[in-house]
Amino acid sequence: MPTAFVLINAEIGSEEEILKSLTGVEGVDEAYIVYGVYDIVAKVKAESMDKLKDIVTWRIRRLNKVRSSLTMIVVEGT
C-alpha cells in the first residue's frame, strides 16, 4: 500500500483549521501540528500510486489556507 508523509506550510493561525479539514480527507491516516519549518505533518495511505497522487494534489494541496507542501513517498518501512 503506497504511503507518503506530507509536510504542510499553513497560513499563520490556520493550523488547527487545516488539521480539522485533514481528518475528513480520505486516505489521511494521521495528522499532527508540529514545530519547525513545517506546520503540519500528515501520513497518507492509498490503494495505488495514482490514488496517492490524487489525494495529495487534489485534496490536500487545495485545502483552504495551505500555502505549500512537500510530499515524501515512503520507499521502505518497518
Q: Is residue 78 part of a domain?
A: no
Residue 7's domain is classified under what CATH number? 3.30.70.920
The whole-chain average pLDDT of the chain stands at: 97
Domain with 48 in it: 3-73
Question: Tens digit of pLDDT for each residue in 29-45?
Answer: 999 999 999 999 999 99
Secondary structure element (H or E) that encloses residue 51, with its range:
helix 49-54
Does the pTM surpass 0.85? The reply is yes
Question: Tens digit of pLDDT for each residue in 14-28?
Answer: 999 999 999 999 999
One-letter amino acid at 52 equals L
The whole-angstrom separation of Cα 20 and Cα 51 is 22
Q: Is residue 54 part of a domain?
A: yes
Percent of the chain beyond pLDDT 90?
A: 97
